[in-house]
Structure 1
Amino acid sequence: MERKKKDMRYLCYPYMRESAATVDFEIRTDSLAVRIGAASALVNAFPNLKQHLIRLTEMAYHVNGSVRGNLAVTERDLEELSLLYDQYVGETKEELNQFVLPLGSNEASSLHIARSEAKKSVRALHKVSQERDVPNVLFDYIHLLANVLFVMAVYVNKQLGIAEIPFKSKSYPKKRRESEND
């Protein structure tokens, strides 16, 4: 079969051959959007959370295009995300006093995977920033998004009666307090 040169069915992403870090960032944030969308499919028992995740999926795509195209993430978007963070922290305060393993329900695990994708997106954005100027609002948004996805995971586990399992690092032990040295 002879292929036409411009047949778009043979091109999944038009910038794939570019060497700029922007390409890796866009691919990474596409994966972030997919993971948030997948998490939204699992949280039908939590309609408000589902709506929040649908909105965050859309925002992940706005983040995606904000480096190559026009900046589509605003300070207002960041404020809305911050309020969402505060809302879920308010629901999970007791569970957030320690570092926990990324375990629990399927819903929470899916949110932890999305959180990890957000962190990878921050790293990819850092690589972009070494090549070109990147608005701080993008860094702030993705960092906060990772934290929102984390508290959402803890929230889901709490709602389902699944206890968080604390993680105590052997690599980074807590410094002893001065009162313990006396």
Structure 2
Amino acid sequence: MRRPKPDDLREWCYPFIYETRLTCDYEILTDELCCHIGVVLSMLPEEFADIRADLEQLQPLIYNLNGSVRGKHGIFEEDIEWLKARYTYYQQASEGRVTGFVLPRGPAPVPQLHLCRCIGKKIVRMLVRLEQEGRKFDETLPRFANVLANFFFVLTVAIKHRQGVTEVPYISINY
């Protein structure tokens, strides 16, 4: 049963909140990611001006990602190329620091960026589910979301490298 729009709009937090399709869940995930980036920005030391600028540019792109499933398409090839270039910039700056799995820890905002990375993966998975549900969207969305999750990881490595924090390897007993 679909709930009706309440008479008192204070009892209605989002226009699609009672929808049963996964589109609303996807939009909430992308919104959550954008909020987490706001937390990271509030904790980012002043000496990380390049990271601050990239995250500030990324927030609107994540809201473009948000609206691209229900509304007009908003993630383009140039957005993916920009994000890949920024990924490469941070990866090259900390080349060789990570050669396997590492534990997601470190000084703030590293743990928060690891949470962003996890939400990025959830967004990719939600896009898989939306496609399975029959939703049509441009192929740039899952591509951008995958690069996004990887970008957050490389930021954690770059921040720890700049701060002289050692990565803690994780050796799996499972694989």
User: Contact (CA 8 Å) 1:35, 1:117: kept in 2 or not?
Assistant: no
User: Contact (CA 8 Å) 1:32, 1:117: kept in 2 or not?
Assistant: yes
Q: Whole-Å Cα distance in 1 between the matches of residues 129 and 98 of structure 2?
A: 31
Equivalence map 1:113-152=2 (5 Å)? 113-131=115-133, 132-152=135-155
C-alpha displacement at 1:101, in angstroms?
0.7
1:93 aligns to what SS in structure 2? coil
Q: How many residue pairs end up in the alignment?
A: 169
C-alpha displacement at 1:124, in angstroms?
1.2
Q: Residues 28-70 of structure 1: CA distance to partner in whole angstroms, max 9, x if unpaired? A: 1111111112111111321111111111121111100000000
C-alpha displacement at 1:6, in angstroms?
3.6
User: Contact (CA 8 Å) 1:35, 1:110: kept in 2 or not?
Assistant: yes
Q: Whole-Å Cα distance in 2 between the matches of residues 130 and 94 of structure 1?
A: 38
In the other structure, the counterpart of 2:3 is none
Q: Whole-Å Cα distance in 2 between the matches of residues 153 and 141 of structure 1?
A: 19
C-alpha displacement at 1:21, in angstroms?
0.9
In the other structure, the counterpart of 2:165 is 162
Equivalence map 1:74-113=2 (5 Å)? 74-113=76-115
* Runs (4+) off by over 4 Å: none
Equivalence map 1:54-65=2 (5 Å)? 54-65=56-67
- Greater C-alpha Rg: 1
- In the superposition, the TM-score normalised over structure 2's length comes to 0.92
In the other structure, the counterpart of 1:175 is none
Q: Whole-Å Cα distance in 2 between the matches of residues 96 and 133 of structure 1?
A: 37
> What amino acid is the match of 1:101?
L
Q: Whole-Å Cα distance in 2 between the matches of residues 88 and 8 of structure 1?
A: 45
Match of 2:75 among 73, 97, 103: 73
CA RMSD across the alignment: 1.4
Q: Whole-Å Cα distance in 1 between the matches of residues 87 and 55 of structure 2?
A: 13
Query: Identity over aligned residues, as a percent?
Result: 35
Q: Whole-Å Cα distance in 1 between the matches of residues 87 and 116 of structure 2?
A: 15
User: Contact (CA 8 Å) 2:98, 2:167: kept in 1 or not?
Assistant: no
In the other structure, the counterpart of 1:29 is 30
Q: Whole-Å Cα distance in 2 between the matches of residues 90 and 130 of structure 1?
A: 37
2:96 aligns to what SS in structure 1? helix
Structure 1 unaligned runs (5+)? 173-182
In the other structure, the counterpart of 1:178 is none
Q: Does 1:48 align with 2:50?
A: yes
Structure 2 unaligned runs (5+)? 1-5
User: Contact (CA 8 Å) 2:103, 2:170: kept in 1 or not?
Assistant: yes
